[in-house]
Structures are given as structure tokens and as C-alpha cells.
Structure 1
Amino acid sequence: MATIDESKAFIPVRIAVLTVSDSRSMEDDRSGQTLADRIAGAGHVLADRTILPDERDQIAGQLRQWCADPDIDVIISTGGTGLTGRDVTVEAHRDVYEKEIEAFATVFTIVSMQKIGTSAVQSRATGGVAQGTYLFALPGSPGACKDAWDEILVHQFDYRHRPCNFVEIFPRLDEHRRRK
């Protein structure tokens, strides 16, 4: 069973938030704000936040830029994960991933099923790793962002979470680059 090891110190993680939308602005970006509030509320650092249109090359470019930034550990995007022609966030993420975290989509679907039933089948949430940075693409609704954060990510970004968590393997995410 999952537990918090109180003998370990909490380690804040630096997280960037990308909202993908052709119509939202910072003033009405409820999903991005939901994530920003939860990130800060959990004791982490909001390293950057921006909004981009549903353009695959722009999204992938921003993801790559943030992956190259040593002051960003995690990128969470919201929006553009659906099935319509303009929904290209998942493809942009996969353009950047070195490794995909397949189980994230599965666990997110399980969480979503409990909230929205079979409508969860329409989500293409995804996660991966690139350049030692975790990346996650979430649906564009505030509810989906709450569910992903509250049920999955808040635990995996807590170094004290047992039996394992994403934070403890940060130093090894790019070990293949250091091999001689």
C-alpha cells in the first residue's frame, strides 16, 4: 500500500505549465490556473507558464525548449488531447519523448472512469521523459487537471511517497547520455 515516509524531507519540483488552446488567454485559462494552484499548494515551484495555439510544431518547440532548461524538472500541458483535427498535443509530445510512460495513460483512464464513466475513452492523456524531464499531456478541462494532479501526479512528485516515486529517479533519467 502507498504511504508517505515522514523520515524523508520533501523536495520541491520545478514544474512548467503549457495550456494548448486557440481561444484561451491567461485571464480565462481555468485549467492552467488549476494546475498552477495545485503545484504551489503542494509546495512545488511553478517554473513557467504559457499558452500556445493547437500547432504541433509550436507545441513541440516549447516542450524542447523547456526540456533543455535546467531550471525545469517537469512539464504539464493541458488541452489538445482529444480526437478532433486540431487536437495535436499528444503528437507533439511524442515528437519529443525519448521514452513514453504508457502506464500514465492507463492509470489516468482508470481515475477518469470513476468520474465520467465511459466518456474517459475519448481522452488521449500521455506521459513521457525527454532530456531528464518528465512531460505529461492532460485534457483541457479543469476537472481532468484536478483528477490527474490529485490522484496521480501529486503522489509521484512527492519524494516521500512509497513504494516509489518519480522524484527519486530524477538523477538516472538521463544516465544514458553520460555513458562513455
Structure 2
Amino acid sequence: HAIADVILGKVSPSGRLSMTFPYTEGQEPLYYAHLSTGRPQDGSQHVGRFVSRYIDAPTAPLYAFGYGLSYAQVDYGDIQLEKGQLKAEDTLKFSIEVTNSSDWEQKETVQVYFHDDVASLVQPVKRLVDFKKVVLAPHSKQIVTFAIPAVHFSFYDNQGESILEPGTFHLFVGTNSEDVTSVEFEIRQ
């Protein structure tokens, strides 16, 4: 009955992928939290040189981590930070408006990622730090709020110690790891 309800449009699907799906096996390993290579995917001072790309396949995945299909059209607004500068003992509080502009009720998974721009050790381009599943009525808006302790933006050094370095960070919020809106914040000592 569950499959029939989805096929007949009685229920909008809301599942999300727990992994990244590549276009081709030549892209493996492919995951959302990869380390930066230092070579941009497009653009270079020498056209075609010093870039990170495939000749016969796109560099982006076929389906990104957290991707999911639904009948609903869900749009994300801008991220509203309570404050853009934090101390190590503070909590990052922010909200985002999520809009369902369709005729279906939707269970939307709002995903939060971040990137440490200036860490002493190379960091993944994105790390999942939080998510919430919210129910959106047809043609409705909802403000989704998050409170993430600054300690969640720490990383482990080469000695296995968890450290939180001051600097700039990027916060990403969206429906999957690729389709996100972003804002910058700073952690100070």
C-alpha cells in the first residue's frame, strides 16, 4: 500500500540518500566530505591546466549525498545568523525560512554543513553538522531554527586532540550537500 500511495501521488516521498552516487565508477572514491585538492574545477590562469576535472565525465556526482525525490517544490530562503562572531564557548544560533509551494504535504530534511576556511590541517570541503526533518503543509512557510555549540566546529589534530581554532567558517544549509545556501561566520578566541 505504501508504494501504491507514492506512485498514485497520495504521499510525497521524503527519503534521502545516505551516500553519493557517481556518474561512472571512474569517479570513485566520491563523497561529499572530500578534501580540497588545491586545484579548482573550473577556471585557471592557464586555460585547461592546473584544474581538477575528468575528460570524459563531469566532476559532480549523479546524485549528491542527502539527495531525494519528492512531488513537492521546496525552496530555501537566506540564512539568518543571530550573530556572526562567536567565542569558543558560544552557540551558533541561526534560522532559515523553508517554503513549500506545492499542493502536497512534504517532510523536508533540512541539512546543515560547514567548512573551516583557515584550519591548520586540511579540512573537508563540507562536513554535516546537523539536520532536522520538518513537516510542511501545502503552500506554507516555516522558520527552521538551529543552535549548534561552537565546539562542534572543532577537528582532531595529528596527536588525536580535539581543537577549535579561531578563524572564518562557511555555513551551508540546504536540501542536500550540493544544493545549499551559504553564509560566513567567525570564531574568535
Structure 1 length as normaliser, TM-score? Answer: 0.26
Structure with more of its chain in strand, by fraction? 2
Structure with more of its chain in helix, by fraction? 1
Which structure carries more relative contact order (alpha carbon 8 Å, separation 6+)? 1
